[in-house]
Amino acid sequence: MSALGRLVVIVVFEGVDLLDITGPPEVFSLVRREAGEAADYRVVLAAATMDPVTTGAGVRVLPDTTFEEAAAGRIDTLLVPGAVEADRERGVRAVTDPSVVNWVRELAGGARRVASVCVGAHLLAAAGLLDGRRATTHWSTARQLAAEHPEVEVDADPIFVRDGAVWTGAGISACLDLSLALVADDLGEAVALRVARQLVMYLKRPGGQSQFSVPLEPVSGSRRVEDLRHHVLRCAGGPLTVADVAAHAHVSERQLTRIFKAELGMTPGAYIESVRVERARQRLETTDDTLEHIAGTCGFGTVDTLVRAFRRRLGTTPTEYRRRFRT
């Protein structure tokens, strides 16, 4: 394989998510149109053999090279997608093939940077590439990743996370956001934004943008906690406090905190704030309400409190969020 250009190697294997391996090449191909020869990305699909690979969607793809051949070349970016299997309750679990994990580990050793797409983070973690690092994955498998790899600092909220030369992205359409972020890292924000326009994406979302809304979070198996979650959803627009929720549950604030951490992985205060941020996001996206009105009706009280919550949760301000996401 030629050493010219930025070689992007995408790992493919049986059951891989189709969009994970087709989305990034679209981004890199458009970069050449926008930036000319300065881009010079070359994207190849690498697999164990040259035989067709059947994706999770049932569509077959043809590899361009083998893992062995790719490992002998000079890789600029290694992209690692993932695969899932469904359980009887319609939930999903990320699956990892030990042979693919071994190849990912070897290929990563010769790459300038490594990025996982969606549940591909599970392959990176199994290969030891996320040890001691902050990482994200699709929200539906974040708890699995944290449970199986406690040495990884799993953050289920961002669209993508960069920790040194290792990038991890959420799923599934977030593969485009991750790819655009890689382009911006190479060629600058202006080029990435032009590509986003060509993709008819409203904008290039920042990595701190939340990948899911509060009601979509994994629910608790406890009826009591589900009742508390719905109580928060009903009352978060008013002056709801942790003490109020504890009183509703007939437990102490300390006991309530233990319950929320065990069942939802966060404190009651953090959950209340996340619900309020979600409400504010929806108002910012769909209304012309002032920040003062949004802060008052979403339970923040003051604009300063609203701004601090947005910076903490989304890494941006309400004004910037509205500018980017107003529909």
Which positions are annotated as active-site residues?
118
Cβ neighbours of residue 18 closer than 8 Å, sequence gap 6 or more: 55, 56, 57, 59, 61
Phi, psi of 92 (to 5 degrees): -130, 155
| The residue count for the chain | 327
Per-residue tokens: 76: 């600029």
Q: Where are the alpha helices (DSSP H) in the chain?
A: 18-35, 67-71, 98-109, 121-126, 142-148, 174-187, 189-198, 223-235, 242-249, 253-264, 268-286, 291-297, 303-314, 318-325
| Max Cα–Cα distance, the chain, nearest Å | 68
Cβ(125)–Cβ(148) below 8 Å: yes
